Structure formats: C-alpha cells, structure tokens
Amino acid sequence: MSGSLNSSNYEMINNEICDLLNTGMYSSVAINIYSNAICTTIAQDEEGNDLSNKVILNVSKISAHKDENGNDINDKITFTFNDNSTLILDDELDNYWYILTGIQMKFTKF
C-alpha cells in the first residue's frame, strides 16, 4: 500500500491502516517515507533520522484555515510514532511518498 503523502490522501491512508489491522494478522502498522515517487530514497526528519519502519500510533489532518492573526495555515498531516516522535507534513512545502506494512503479531506461550 503506497501513494503520495499529503492531507488529500488522509482518508485513504486511514483506510489502508484499518484494512491491514482488520486482517487479524498484524498488531500494528509501520510506514516508510520516501523523498521520491518511485519509493527508493528514504526521507529523513529534521534531525537526520531515517523515516523507515516507523510504527504509527496516530494520524491526524489539519485543514487549511486562518489563524487568530489572520495568517494562512496550509493543509497538514501529522503522524505520531511509537518512539515518541512526531512528523508534521505541510502540503505546500513537503513532497513525500509512503509505503505501509503490517507488523506481524507475536504470539507467546505461557
């Protein structure tokens, strides 16, 4: 499951996450974020960390609006990951692509 990473694809991203989880085979979903459309170059965050195999805890969308000072705020999509990091992508400034993968459940015998 892959595509362009922007707020207009928010619903599709959520549906893909739900589809993976609803198979019953996966305990969570990870995302790889790429800087090119053919998904061969892993993107990096502002601190230089690779955006690969990031386990998603939450995805949210902020629609374009004006703030309290009348400044335009662009559409954004925000990811929160299980390593306590957050990635906010601005539709007007950022150009990324993604691939989602399910993380297999690990069964434990007692």
Looking at residue 12, what is its pLDDT? 94
Residue in 29, 34, 30 with CA at minimum distance from that of residue 5: 34
- pTM score, whole prediction: 0.87
* Residues 42, 32 contacting (CB under 8 angstroms): yes
Candidates 64, 62, 98, 97; CA nearest to 78 is 62
Tell me the sheet residues that pair with 33.
Answer: 98
What one-letter code names the amino acid at 31?
I
* pLDDT in the model for residue 1: 62
pLDDT in tens, 63-102: 999 999 999 999 999 999 999 999 999 998 889 999 999 9
